[in-house]
Amino acid sequence: MPLNTRPDRDPLLWCTAITFAFLALLLWRITFPVEFYFDEIHYVPAARKLLDLVPANREHPMFGKEVIAGFIWLLGDTPLTWRLGPVLTGALGLFGFGRFLWHVSHKRRATILGMVLLATNFMWFVQSRIAMLDMIEAGLCMVGLWQFAAALRASSTRSARAHLLAAGLAMGLSLGAKWSSAPALMVPGLAFLALRLAEGGPFFWGRKGGAGTIPGISLLEAALWLGLFPLAIYWLTYLPAMFYADRPIWFTGFIEQHEYMIRLQDSVKKPHPYRSYWYMWATDWRDIWYLFKVIEGSQRGIVMLGNPLSMLTGLGALVWGLWAVLFRRRWDVALLLALYTLCLGVWAINGKPVQFYYHYLLPGAFLMGILAFALEPLLARRDRWRWLGVGIPALSVLLFLGFFPILSGLPLPTRQFYNVWMWLPSWR
């Protein structure tokens, strides 16, 4: 299962420039609105209580709330500090996504396209500007995947081991923010195992990197960095809860704590107007209005919606991806298909009674990577198909700019003006 070794130049400068441009856009008016909106009403108060070691929001893991609480403690209790954690992890996650695409494919243009598509897929931007747990989880997940892919490309065992350590740390913290990334976090270990089996060499100790596995890193050591170490980091994120004055979590109570959290999550069964299902997410059928109210004398809105062009053409890219894996042996595409399928499929079989479109955050991101890989060959063509390689990303950027007023809460001329963007009745 050899990794693609096309000798493209590393687009590190492009990755960095796109990331800083995205970060600047995220920080623009980040203190708006000055009051809580949507699920900030749950997570910011929980972070405040955490500073006093008072339990709250116990159905979710700790690390996302610890990040919010940490910025409040460092910089004061303001809208900026509530949202700074998601902003920074959103930008870092975009960079990590680009570096992940580069290391698994060594395709320069696909890497740049993937970052542009993710930055403009609406979801990554909106979720990076709200004090919720999801972007902290998703951003760190991308960092973990990047570091794992970098380990496969490392020039020495020592360098690879450092990347694996960083991957395990990021994976543990991602899971410590929210469980939604769990399917994606299984992939590095499974990929290492698949590569080692395909390599056909010594099972527990590979001294050659024939199939892309890391020289000198045994299967047992990989299991340590990609399995046990992330779980240890995850459990350490519960350390503050072990000092609660009321109902502390015992260090030895791992199983009991998670049984309790699952019961709490499953207890939410009341129908919600924004409730949706996995097949609705894939077709961009049901959005969520995070904000819709008059603020400072003007009607404002912030909608969680997928970019209709990139999200729907991405479904076509899934078909291309299957063809590329079966007939072109594109294992970089296979990796992204596995990530997309696992992260979406878990919600198809999940028994959680109430689900929302923002659960598509990670699957939608991996879909952008598949779309980028599908568009990249078109850029090299000299016929009428070339315009798709340029046109779809360009139109995605234009749609992002067109929808920007209701992605960022800009003033609308009238209350009904939001109808300009409501192309489907289900978006209302």
- Cβ 284 vs Cβ 305: under 8 Å: yes
pLDDT score, position 43:
97
What's the confidence (pLDDT) of residue 265?
81
Tens-place pLDDT, residues 40-50: 999 999 999 99
Query: In the prediction, which pLDDT does 1 show?
Result: 39
pLDDT at residue number 249: 87
Is the pLDDT assigned to residue 83 strictly greater than 70? yes
pLDDT at 207 over 50: no
Of all residues in the chain, the percent with pLDDT exceeding 90 is 75
Higher pLDDT, 173 or 276: 173
What is d(CA 142, CA 146) in angstroms, rounded to the nearest whole number? Answer: 6
pLDDT at 298 over 60: yes
Euclidean distance between CA atoms 280 and 372, whole angstroms:
22
What pLDDT, on a 0 to 100 scale, did the predictor assign at position 216? 81
Give the model's confidence band at 110: pLDDT under 50 very low, under 70 low, under 90 confident, else very high.
very high
77 Cβ contact partners less than 8 Å away, ≥ 6 residues apart: 48
Identify the pLDDT of residue 163: 96
Q: What is the pLDDT of residue 204?
A: 47
Give residue 274's pLDDT: 81
What does the pLDDT look like over 25-74, one tens digit per residue? Answer: 999 999 999 999 999 999 999 999 999 999 888 889 999 999 999 999 99
Share of the chain above pLDDT 70, in %: 95
Question: What confidence score (pLDDT) does residue 5 get?
Answer: 47
2 pLDDT above the threshold of 70: no
- Spell out the residues 6+ positions from residue 112 whose beta carbon is closer than 8 angstroms to its own: 11, 14, 15, 18, 98
Average pLDDT in the chain = 91
- Nearest Cα neighbor of 34 from 213, 327, 245, 295 is 295
Q: What is the pLDDT of residues 183-192, one digit of tens each?
A: 999 999 999 9
Q: Write the CA distances from 15 to 19, 94, 267, integer angstroms.
A: 6, 9, 43
pLDDT band at 201 (very low <50, low <70, confident <90, very high): low
Cβ neighbours for 190, distance < 8 A, ≥ 6 positions apart: 338
pLDDT at 196: 81
pLDDT in tens, 371-415: 999 999 998 877 777 888 899 999 999 999 999 999 999 999 998
Alpha helix ranges (H) inside 272-421: 278-282, 308-328, 331-349, 361-379, 386-408
DSSP string, 79-119: HHHHHHHHHHHHHHHHHHHHHHHHHHH--HHHHHHHHHHHH
Alpha-carbon distance values, 193 to 18, 26, 190, 219 (Å): 33, 38, 5, 7
pLDDT digits (tens, 9 = 90+) for 240-277: 999 998 888 888 888 888 888 888 887 776 777 788 88
* Predicted model pTM: 0.94
Report residue 52 as tokens. Answer: 């006093």
Q: Any idea what the Cα angle at residue 409 is, between residues 295 and 356, rounded to 5°?
A: 110
pLDDT in tens, 281-297: 999 999 999 999 999 88
Q: What is residue 51's predicted lDDT score, i.e. its pLDDT?
A: 95
Cβ–Cβ under 8 Å, residues 6 and 199: no
| pLDDT at residue 3, as a whole number | 47
d(CA 190, CA 342): 12
Yes or no: say if 389 and 381 are a contact pair by the CB < 8 Å rule: yes
